[in-house]
Amino acid sequence: MRLVETEPTVATSFEFAAAILSGLSAPEKSIPCRFLYDAAGSALFEKITALPEYYPTRTEIAILGSCAPVIAGETEPGTVLIEFGSGSSIKTELLLAEMPDLYAYVPIDISRAALDDAQARIEKRFPGLRVLPVCADFAKPLAMPHEIAGRPRLGFFPGSTIGNLAEDAAVELLANMSKIVGKGGRLVIGADLKKDSKQLIAAYDDAAGVTAAFNLNLLKRANRELGANFDVSQFDHLATYDADKGRVALYLVSQADQTATVLGREFAFAAGEHIHTEYSHKYDVDGFQAMAARAGWQPVNVWTDEQRLFSVHELRAA
Ligand code: AVJ
């Protein structure tokens, strides 16, 4: 079983350079999480999804396996399935397999390569299905293919990728998705659930060190792409969980007083200093529905696994 997760965004070296220079110049240093997903980072993320401690991917797949027939039963023939991100083959295929009467499948992604890959995969498994890829940033207003005008729309945003965003940004993204599916359109979205902090931290600091390698790859990427000279062995991976804020935070922690040069600029790191690299927000069902309501979504259905590790919400645009 091969899991290919969505790349949140693919970003160029120029954007990476600008983000690193500004993020490391701030009093509280940070590097935006979208830069975790270069080729090496995407391969490491794929490994994360198979780790024993990383429950979200396999749990969401199991939930989708049982709720896909229900969602399909509510989907009128001629509906368009719109996926935000080009999609993990398994998750998308679980829905498509139950929906033989779709008008089209529209994957939206910022990466042309990811879209080409998704299109090839889906057309191979579902030969009759119209695939209409849209290369765009779904966080912004975008033009949809004219062929789908006037057809009912079902959005799909699995993976709890929404959890990377703080609430206001998440609401903005959800509102944009509601515009894209239109009044009466639906969204199926995965959201990781709040739970015991031990279990959360294990999921983001696994025993095999894959998540550590994924996080440290940010510095290796800077060395590769920007000619930086980080001594990667002098940084540690750290995962924390703040139960009040309901979020996991990832950091790279400097193990010594040290400096690194990036594009001719020298940055100093004190021993123990943190570089923030990612948030992963955790929700309860009510909290997620309340957040979605701020973006104009009404709850239709919600499914969780028996252990209540993960949730899949079905929402309708008011
Ligand atoms: C892809 C954002 C859903 O937050 O669980 C996994 C990213 N980071 N391990 C998550 C991630 C470290 C993942 N998302």
What digits encode the pLDDT tens for the residues 183-212?
A: 999 999 999 999 999 999 999 999 999 999
The average pLDDT across 99-127 equals 94
Residue 280 CA to ligand 1 center (angstroms) comes to: 6
Residues 181, 154 contacting (CB under 8 angstroms): yes
More confident residue, 88 or 316: 316
- C-beta of 87 in contact with ligand 1 (< 6 A): no
- Ligand 1: residue of 280, 281, 310, 311 to mutate (most ligand atoms within 8 A of CB) is 280
The average pLDDT across 296-315 equals 98
Q: What's the pLDDT tens digit per position in 67-77?
A: 999 999 999 99
- C-beta of 156 in contact with ligand 1 (< 6 A): no
Tell whether the model's pLDDT for residue 138 goes beyond 60: yes
pLDDT at residue 211, as a whole number: 99
Structure tokens at 213: 């390698």
The pTM of the full predicted model, rounded to 2 decimals, is: 0.94
Nearest CA to ligand 1 atom 4: 280
Cβ neighbours of residue 31 closer than 8 Å, sequence gap 6 or more: 19, 20, 23, 24, 218, 275, 276, 277
Nearest CA to ligand 1 atom 10: 280
pLDDT at residue 87, as a whole number: 72
Task: Return the ligand 1 atom nearest residue 160 CA.
Answer: 3
- C-beta of 159 in contact with ligand 1 (< 6 A): yes
- C-beta of 48 in contact with ligand 1 (< 6 A): yes
- The full DSSP string for 138-202 is TTS--PPPGGGTTS-EEEEE-TTGGGGS-HHHHHHHHHHHHHHH-TT-EEEEEEEBP--HHHHHH
Nearest-angstrom CA–CA distance, 206 and 51: 8
Label residue 157 by pLDDT band (50, 70, 90). very high
Residues 153, 282 contacting (CB under 8 angstroms): no
Nearest CA to ligand 1 atom 14: 161
Label residue 11 by pLDDT band (50, 70, 90). low
Residue positions counted in the chain? 318
- C-beta of 42 in contact with ligand 1 (< 6 A): no
pLDDT at residue 86, as a whole number: 81
The average pLDDT across 8-37 equals 89
Tell me what the pLDDT averaged over the chain comes to.
95
pLDDT at residue 89, as a whole number: 76
167-181 vs 285-294: helix crossing angle, rounded to 10: 60
- C-beta of 211 in contact with ligand 1 (< 6 A): yes
Geometric angle at alpha carbon 3, from 189 and 53, rounded to 5°: 80
pLDDT at residue 4, as a whole number: 42
Q: What's the pLDDT tens digit per position in 240-277?
A: 999 999 999 999 999 999 999 999 999 999 999 999 99
148 Rama sector, left if φ>0, alpha if ψ -120 to 50, beta otherwise: alpha
More confident residue, 158 or 1: 158
